[in-house]
Structure 1
Amino acid sequence: MSSPSSGRLTAVLAFAGVVVAVMQTLMVPLLAQLPTLLHASSSDTAWVITITLLTGAVATPVLGRLGDMYGKRRMMLVALTLQVAGSLVCGLTTALLPMMIGRGLQGFAIGAIPLGISIMRDELPPERLGGAVGLMSSSLGIGGAFALPVAALVAEHFDWHILFLGAAVLGLAGLLLVLFVVPESAVRSPGRFDLTGAIGLSAGLVCLLLAISKGGTWGWGSTRTLASAGAAAVIFLAWGFFELRTAEPLVDLRTTARRPVLLTNLASITVGFALYATQLVPPQLLQLPTSTGYGLGLSMVVAGLCVAPSGLMMMAMSPVAAKLIAARGPKVSLLCGITVLGVGYAAGLALMGAGWQMAVFSGLAGAGVGLAYAAMPSLIMNAVPATETAAANGLNTLMRSIGTSSSSAVVGMVLAGMTIDLDGRAVPSLDGFRATFLIGLAACLAGLLVAFFIPGRTRPADTMLTGVVRSARDVLEGAAITLIGKTGEQAATTATDAAGRYSLNVPDGEFVLVCSAAGHQPEAAPVSGPGELDLTLSPAGRVSGAVHAKGSPVGGALLVTTDVCGEVAGSARTRADGTFDLGGLPPGRYTLAVARPGYRAAAVPVHIADGVVRREFSLIPATDDVPVTR
């Protein structure tokens, strides 16, 4: 597969992210109608939402680790395939259990977001990476904001199954685009998959998210909620103990415990919490009847349009965040994003009187989230080796999911507890809406406090290893550059441009840089940090020629070169026409031997200097005299 342009690759991966967002958002207009549509109680239909969160939380780190091991594009295709299958299941059923199975399969698609970010790191040039990562990271908000009014329109006027069938079509389009446009990353972290770690992490996440998502229904002090939370604590402690003692863990806790990674993940929880509250509160306030005194009485479709500025601003902030990250570093972008989001919440306390006011609030929230989300993958990728980016970004996405699920539980509890009576039914009060905005503001303040202690990063140029690769005569274009860690894993790879230049992002630690090019001897050099490292490759000698027997070519004859110490330096077999070509030989003196069953073996000395040495053999049957060489 030829390498796609940076713009095309970014567009396809961002589209895949939007597909995931559509899958998550299309259920929002149906929430109130689910008990009727699925012929089940409201407590049972709540699992239609919970199951997606659970499978997504489990699949994200697992697919990330598998992507680092076996290929990020491959795992992204798996995630999108399961999303298409789940959408088809949901679109063809009206029963609760099949719907839960379909939604569970859809949840695997959430893992496509961190996988796409990791592919961008491997494939895009440094100057394009910031904007691309920002766009990919914000694609969940962008797709959600655009999908909400469309989903509302379909839910109001058409059969609700069309939502899922449409999601299947979008998923298939994303699957095909990734298949034909996105190349497979060459950056791998080979090893053994940590099945025990995956099971332990899955069990702990299930217990934790059950407690968070069902606490409001079960009661926060109920036996089931406390048992789930307690089980999560015990499982995570045991899981952490196991992971620290495993040679190839699912999640490298030592890397995760690095200050930039740990604090970024904690900040991700707060931003995820604040983001989800901006999506939960405005639609309800906009659609409540005007008879409440504060509801705006808008239709489902108009309410969705009032929330759409959030996605527009996320998209608009992607290039802004990229420039800010390039100039001041990702920490500054994160701090600015959380600040703008907090200002949006503070302004939202006074912007509840009209649809346009809620649109302004949504726009401010989207701008803040766009700046913050663009910074998080950059902070993570700057702190971990390239071979661990998919798993590390998957863990960061998981932290955001924990934040959003916590927000759903807390906001739901507040709005259910602060109500007024409207025609015999309880609806959220104005004080309840204000309380959720204050809680969102508090989450932003907590995020600012955490982000303040994230270590500042030097300029992108200060983390790069650059240089020029030359031959004896000219610069070498297309020379392969590979950065190898001390345990043998591939940390990064690139190729020289037309001017022979290369650039690599160098993580902390000791590495070996290996350079190879066709027709030249490979070179290796130790690397311990960013800087400038030029390499000069020596030409590799070649021996070519032909093997004949009484005027007829001899195919399949084995040719072997040995150096002065008797070590084998290279081997080849003759083609059907008797010719051979044996390359990659450093300058020096060798012995070239030829053997073929039924013929006497022969050997001649060869002196490799610079260029091609030609030798021809004329073999005779083993029963005849000595072979002739020249």
Structure 2
Amino acid sequence: MADSLGPTAPPRAQRAPALIITILILAAVVSSFEATMMYTALPGIIEQFHSTPSAAGWILTGFLLVGAASAAISGRLGDAFGRRNVLIVVLLASVVGSAVSLFAHSLAVLIAGRSIQGLAGGLVPLCVGILRENLPRRNLPVAVATVAGAAMCGGAAGNIVAGNIYDAWGWHYIFVVSLVLALVTAAGAVLLPAAVSRTGFAKIDWLGGILFAPGIALAMYGIHESSNWGWDSGKTLGFIAGGLLVLAAWVAWEYFHDNPLLNVRYFASRKIGLTLVVTMLVSFGTLGISGFLGQLVMQMPKIAPVGLGLSAGVAGDISFACSLLGFAIAPLSGRLSRGGRSRNAFLIGAAFGLAAAVLSALLLGTVAGWIVSQLVLTCATGFMLSSLPNLIVEGVHGENTSEVSGFYMVTQNAFAAVGTSVGTTILSQHLIQGTPFSTHASYNILFAIIAVGAVLAFVVALFIRKGTLGETAGDLGQAESQGQLTHLSA
């Protein structure tokens, strides 16, 4: 019943699972590649436009802001109008964003193009929903884990591909790659099984979407600028507080709305609620802080207290090679997740996360030692990023998969941004006088934060019940009887 489309669902064309998975892997790669492809080009853009790091940083932040909103809204729209249809629209919007950026001759136009590109942040929730809609239950965990692993590889490839293109032809041509990749994927998406539409425009809570986006934007702007203004600045606190107030109003609106765009009542589900909590913890540390910390350790000069003196190209090669291990681990995580056992795969990832933090602190003095720590970190992220979407799948009905996956993606992106901001602030507060280098102790503080987050995530995950929705419906049924989850049985 939970995975059924209902007795009135129209007949659906059958497609080979391999074809479906291949197309969705491409879609996940589009999303992750576009998220990371401009990091290597940022210094050159600052120089070309005579800009500041804060202003030029909006080519990254604009993408993340729109991506966070898209992750929530696209999932709900996919549930309403058909996931394949929305997937194609989002991919075509990404093509438009790449084209605008490709021909940009000012920083403002480039930021606008990147913001349009940010709609690609909604691709992964749609991919998860399409997999659940079309694949047998037995094959679903491995398929979800494989697509999630591909997204991780796509993000790592973004640094290598973009770095080489930038060195050879300049940053404009990076957008040629993203444009072609999104266009080819959109053409392939036409081959996916016919989309299933359920509600249409009439029942969409558009105000809920409008309230959500500025709330995220204000809060993330405050977090992004905290490194310039300081965490105790009135402007930083004002933007974050303003964003939180808007989000609070949004939560209240969605909670009392009869047909909300994003059903906040899902947080009353023990499985979904705890899954989102562990997502916050690991996104802040293992996925957020570790994401930028590795590049700093590898690329800082050897004269710094912490630094291996590697070039950007070599550092990118190491990151990409390590990510291949994560892609290989993803199917294993999927197999461990079968039968409603995704919690076990996540627990393994959290344990690896703790080990990676400890090893990183101990082995950052040599390239070989650092590679070992990064391989362990890749194992952590591989198990985490492939098991978390499966935990979402286990905890919701089939028709609500993309909607709740959107919640998950927003949570992951937002807390990774918070972790990045907090981490860079700590490093900036512990500079050696007269140098741009942070102290060894400041790096140890960050490794300790990552380790604590992994331990807390492990403990919280122990309370996540095993089994799929049908097997864990007790807590859901109890919440629904209290009027808290009236839409779970839609």
* TM-score w.r.t. length of structure 1: 0.70
Question: Aligned match of 2:263 in 252, 273, 283?
Answer: 252
In the alignment, is residue 23 of structure 1 matched against residue 34 of structure 2?
yes
State the distance in 2 between where 1:277 and 1:313 align: 20
Judging changes above 3 Å, is the alpha-carbon distance between structure 1 residues 189 and 364 closer, same or farther for their aligned structure 2 residues?
farther
State the distance in 2 between where 1:83 and 1:431 align: 42
1:578-589 equivalences in 2 (<5 Å): none
Matching residue of 1:233: 244
State the distance in 2 between where 1:48 and 1:250 align: 28
Is the 2:340–2:394 Cα contact (8 Å) retained in structure 1? Answer: no
State the distance in 2 between where 1:152 and 1:382 align: 39
Matching residue of 2:8: none
The AA in structure 1 aligned to 2:137 is P
The AA in structure 1 aligned to 2:304 is T
State the distance in 1 between where 2:333 and 2:310 align: 34
Judging changes above 3 Å, is the alpha-carbon distance between structure 1 residues 187 and 126 closer, same or farther for their aligned structure 2 residues?
farther
1:373 deviates by 1.8
Question: Aligned match of 1:432 in 413, 428, 442?
Answer: 442
1:284-336 C-alpha deviation (Å, 9 max, x unpaired):
22122223354222111111111123421221111111111116701111111
Matching residue of 1:368: 380
Deviates more, 1:336-345 or 1:372-381: 372-381
In the alignment, is residue 206 of structure 1 matched against residue 206 of structure 2?
no
Is the 1:310–1:367 Cα contact (8 Å) retained in structure 2? Answer: no
State the distance in 1 between where 2:164 and 2:369 align: 22
* TM-score w.r.t. length of structure 2: 0.89
The structure with more strand, counted as a fraction of residues? 1
Identity value in percent: 26
1:401-450 C-alpha deviation (Å, 9 max, x unpaired):
012101210111122222236xx641233333332222211221222232
Deviates more, 1:124-133 or 1:144-153: 144-153
Question: Aligned match of 1:382 in 389, 394, 404?
Answer: 394
C-alpha root-mean-square deviation of aligned residues, in Å? Answer: 2.3
The AA in structure 2 aligned to 1:428 is S
1:461 deviates by 9.8
Matching residue of 2:7: none
State the distance in 2 between where 1:435 and 1:34 align: 31
1:276 deviates by 2.8
The structure with more helix, counted as a fraction of residues? 2
In the alignment, is residue 335 of structure 1 matched against residue 335 of structure 2?
no
1:24-47 C-alpha deviation (Å, 9 max, x unpaired):
111111233332123322221121
State the distance in 1 between where 2:439 and 2:103 align: 38
State the distance in 2 between where 1:150 and 1:359 align: 21
Matching residue of 2:452: 442
The AA in structure 2 aligned to 1:297 is G
Question: Aligned match of 1:161 in 172, 176, 181?
Answer: 172
Is the 2:81–2:197 Cα contact (8 Å) retained in structure 1? Answer: no
State the distance in 2 between where 1:333 and 1:397 align: 19
Judging changes above 3 Å, is the alpha-carbon distance between structure 1 residues 125 and 231 closer, same or farther for their aligned structure 2 residues?
same
1:484-495 equivalences in 2 (<5 Å): none
Matching residue of 1:224: 235
Matching residue of 2:161: 150
Secondary structure in structure 1 of the residue aligned to 2:436: strand
1:395 deviates by 0.8
Structure showing greater radius of gyration is: 1
State the distance in 2 between where 1:312 and 1:161 align: 28
The AA in structure 2 aligned to 1:381 is V
State the distance in 2 between where 1:76 and 1:136 align: 15
Matching residue of 1:500: none
State the distance in 2 between where 1:182 and 1:19 align: 17
The AA in structure 1 aligned to 2:270 is R
The AA in structure 1 aligned to 2:182 is G
In the alignment, is residue 75 of structure 1 matched against residue 86 of structure 2?
yes
Matching residue of 1:413: 425
Matching residue of 2:411: 399
Judging changes above 3 Å, is the alpha-carbon distance between structure 1 residues 449 and 462 closer, same or farther for their aligned structure 2 residues?
closer
Gaps in structure 2 of 5+ consecutive residues: 1-11, 474-479, 481-486
In the alignment, is residue 268 of structure 1 matched against residue 276 of structure 2?
no
Judging changes above 3 Å, is the alpha-carbon distance between structure 1 residues 234 and 461 closer, same or farther for their aligned structure 2 residues?
closer
Judging changes above 3 Å, is the alpha-carbon distance between structure 1 residues 193 and 286 closer, same or farther for their aligned structure 2 residues?
same
1:487-537 C-alpha deviation (Å, 9 max, x unpaired):
xxxxxxxxxxxxxxxxxxxx986x9xxxxxxxxxxxxxxxxxxxxxxxxxx
Matching residue of 1:476: none
Matching residue of 1:283: 295
Is the 1:345–1:440 Cα contact (8 Å) retained in structure 2? Answer: yes
1:92 deviates by 1.7
The AA in structure 1 aligned to 2:385 is Y
The AA in structure 1 aligned to 2:294 is P
Is the 1:189–1:388 Cα contact (8 Å) retained in structure 2? Answer: no
Secondary structure in structure 1 of the residue aligned to 2:51: coil
Is the 2:218–2:239 Cα contact (8 Å) retained in structure 1? Answer: yes
Question: Aligned match of 1:113 in 120, 124, 145?
Answer: 124
The AA in structure 2 aligned to 1:361 is S
Is the 1:418–1:429 Cα contact (8 Å) retained in structure 2? Answer: yes
Matching residue of 1:455: 465
Is the 2:26–2:185 Cα contact (8 Å) retained in structure 1? Answer: yes
Greater RCO, CA 8 A, separation 6+: 2
1:208-248 C-alpha deviation (Å, 9 max, x unpaired):
21222222222211122111222223222222222122111
1:18 deviates by 0.9
State the distance in 2 between where 1:375 and 1:294 align: 33
1:457-476 C-alpha deviation (Å, 9 max, x unpaired):
26x99689xxxxxxxxxxxx
The AA in structure 2 aligned to 1:3 is Q
Gaps in structure 1 of 5+ consecutive residues: 465-485, 487-506, 512-630
Matching residue of 1:92: 103
Matching residue of 1:55: 66
Judging changes above 3 Å, is the alpha-carbon distance between structure 1 residues 144 and 24 closer, same or farther for their aligned structure 2 residues?
same
State the distance in 1 between where 2:356 and 2:195 align: 39
Matching residue of 1:314: 326
Secondary structure in structure 2 of the residue aligned to 1:292: coil
State the distance in 2 between where 1:72 and 1:99 align: 29
Matching residue of 1:173: 184
Matching residue of 2:364: 352
Judging changes above 3 Å, is the alpha-carbon distance between structure 1 residues 184 and 430 closer, same or farther for their aligned structure 2 residues?
farther
Is the 2:65–2:216 Cα contact (8 Å) retained in structure 1? Answer: yes
**Count of aligned positions:** 465
Matching residue of 1:567: none
